[in-house]
Amino acid sequence: MKKIAITTTTFAEYDKKPVESCRERGYEVVVNPYGRKIKPEELLELAKDAVGLVAGTETIAEESLLKLKSLKVISRCGAGIDNVDVKAAGKLGIKVFNTPDAPTLAVAELTVGLILNLLRKVRRMDAAVREGKWEKLMGNLVSGKKVGLIGFGRIGRKVAGLLGPFGCEITYADPFIDDGVGGFKRLSLQEVLSRSDIVSIHVPAGGMLIGENEIGMMKKGSWLVNASRGGVVDEGALCKALKSGHLSGAALDVFAKEPYEGALKGLDNVILTPHIGSYAVESRIGMEMEAVKNLLNNLDEVR
């Protein structure tokens, strides 16, 4: 019986149909037993002799791919594939797929939730009440704010749509998207950073984009949100800007190294979440079904 390995941490927890679909097609299914992102050596053990892999956010490097001799298809359960060495996979004849549509609304809703939490200081007051302090902090309205979106793909556009009823003035920076999409104005990255009250990042791949210089361009007292890719924001420079008061606050769902253990944990004007952009039940089920469909359809082609 041919094998499919599944490395994500919560696969089929809310709906068994994705796993059942694999078994109904005659595949043995093995799942991540660790409840966390697996390490390279664990990937090799789990996916040994597997023809298909439903992948999470673990690193899938050329070194690993060379050792997975039976592997034919990798189906990422998520939008990003920057954790997979796609070039090496192509050389080895391994097809790589992702699920770009399913997590869009979940990430967009999380982004708006983080923005509301930041501006109204919900997390800080919740913590104070739990500590026995009845402290009322003055916040800010989202209504009427200038919001700059860095990256205007599926998620960026969905965030723009969700923020529309708040009466926000929305612009975006994206070299791959034409001006005027959705009726919104495209500006340069520098213009978006310098004019926006709230900057939200929605880029599809990692690599430093917002460093010390870029943070310095941001309006004093503004807010920064990143629910896209770890490593896009210089976390050290961000920490300095939050400490100095140049930025009023920030919210990060992704980090250069996860689990995150850095200095931002010591600040009360930053919200830190553990890479949960797609962690809504409806979104997870959709992603898993789409990932398995991609996998099975393309395994059929290489049989």
CATH code (residue 145) = 3.40.50.720
- Claim to verify: residue 143 and residue 252 sit in the same structural domain: yes
> 258 catalytic, yes or no?
yes
Which of 25, 120, 124, 275 is an active site residue? 275
Axis crossing angle, helix 154-163 with helix 104-120, rounded to the nearest 10: 50
Which of 186, 202, 229, 284 is an active site residue? 229
Q: Hey, what amino acid is at 283? A: S
Tell me the residue range of the domain where 98 lies: 3-102+281-302
Q: How many CB atoms lie within 10 A of CB 143?
A: 11
- Claim to verify: residue 249 and residue 224 sit in the same structural domain: yes
Q: Do the beta carbons of residue 59 and residue 230 sit within 8 Å? A: no
- Claim to verify: residue 32 and residue 95 sit in the same structural domain: yes
- Claim to verify: residue 91 and residue 156 sit in the same structural domain: no
Task: Output the furthest CA–CA distance in the chain (Å, rounded).
Answer: 65
pLDDT in tens, the chain (303 residues): 899 999 998 899 999 999 999 999 999 999 999 999 999 999 999 999 999 999 999 999 999 999 999 999 999 998 889 899 999 999 999 999 999 898 999 999 999 999 999 999 999 999 999 999 999 999 999 999 999 999 999 999 999 999 999 999 999 999 999 999 999 999 999 999 999 999 999 998 878 999 999 999 999 999 999 999 999 999 999 999 999 999 999 999 999 999 999 999 999 999 999 999 999 999 999 999 999 999 999 998 766
> 157 catalytic, yes or no?
no
Counting beta carbons within 10 angstroms of the beta carbon of residue 243, is it exposed (0 to 12), middle (13 to 18) or buried (19 or more)? middle
Domain count for the chain: 2
- Claim to verify: residue 122 and residue 249 sit in the same structural domain: yes
Please indicate, yes or no, whether the overall pTM of this predicted structure exceeds 0.75: yes
> 130 catalytic, yes or no?
no
Which of 28, 135, 258, 282 is an active site residue? 258
107 Cβ contact list (under 8 Å, min separation 6): 155, 158, 202, 227, 277, 278
